[in-house]
Structure 1
Amino acid sequence: MSSDAYRYHFQSEIPAAEVEATLVLSILGAEALHGEAQTRLDAGHAFDPKKRVVVIDAGTAVGRDLNRLFLGFMTREFGPGSFRVERVTHEPGPHPRAEAVTT
């Protein structure tokens, strides 16, 4: 099974605080659609203000809606040329085996 995510890279002209505020607004929108608990469980995301990057997990319906909201809000607020977005697909490898602990 693969896991999809979207990585957003922002131009230096966009204040990091504005990106973070737009992400929070998008999360609130996802909560309105799916409920607070489901959003908390299924809307994986990360924000790195120094690298000017937001990553949003798109492996669930909640995550896909969060991506749509974030993309829409960012495009309206800053314009389509102010950031770029790329789809990131991760093919997970085998899970690590549990090791027995001896004392």
Structure 2
Amino acid sequence: MTTDRYRYQFGPAIPVAEVETTLLLSVFGVEALHGESQTRLDAGHAFDARARTVAIDASTPVGRDLNRLFVGFLTREFGSGGFRVERIEHPPEPAPRPAPVTA
């Protein structure tokens, strides 16, 4: 199953504080387009400074806009070789098992 989730990886030459600032700038841009509430609901993202990664859920229109802004800003700031991006593949979730019935 293919999902619209992306992971960005940054090497040691890229300051993680600038990556975080770029992510926040992207979130502000999406808020200007979709509003703060919709962005909070539909623009899933995670920043991990220690792992030097950003993950973005682009499965909604708001998330897709966040992903577009983020990759655009990153490319302008660090160049296309300054980071690596990959689609995150998730296996389908197993169907929930019904709870056993006891009498």
Q: For residue 71 of structure 2, what is the amino acid of its counterpart? A: L
- 2:48 is matched with 48
Larger relative strand fraction: 1
- 1:31 is matched with 31
8 Å contact kept, 1:45–1:57: yes
1:50 and 1:37, CA in 2 relative to 1: closer, same or farther beyond 3 A? same
Task: Kindly provide the CA deviation profile for residues 31-83 of structure 1, in whole angstroms up to 9, marking residues without a partner as x.
Answer: 01111100000000001111111000011000000000000001001111010
Q: Among the aligned pairs, what percent are the same residue?
A: 67
Question: Aligned pairs, how many?
Answer: 101
- Higher mean alpha-carbon deviation, 91-100 vs 68-77, is at 91-100
Q: Which runs of 5+ in 1 are unaligned?
A: none
- 1:7 is matched with 7
Q: For residue 68 of structure 2, what is the amino acid of its counterpart? A: R
1:95 and 1:39, CA in 2 relative to 1: closer, same or farther beyond 3 A? farther
Report the secondary structure of 2:54's partner residue: strand
Report the secondary structure of 2:86's partner residue: strand
8 Å contact kept, 1:3–1:91: no
- Higher mean alpha-carbon deviation, 52-61 vs 1-10, is at 1-10
8 Å contact kept, 1:20–1:47: yes
- Alignment RMSD (CA, Å): 1.8
Q: Which runs of 5+ in 2 are unaligned?
A: none
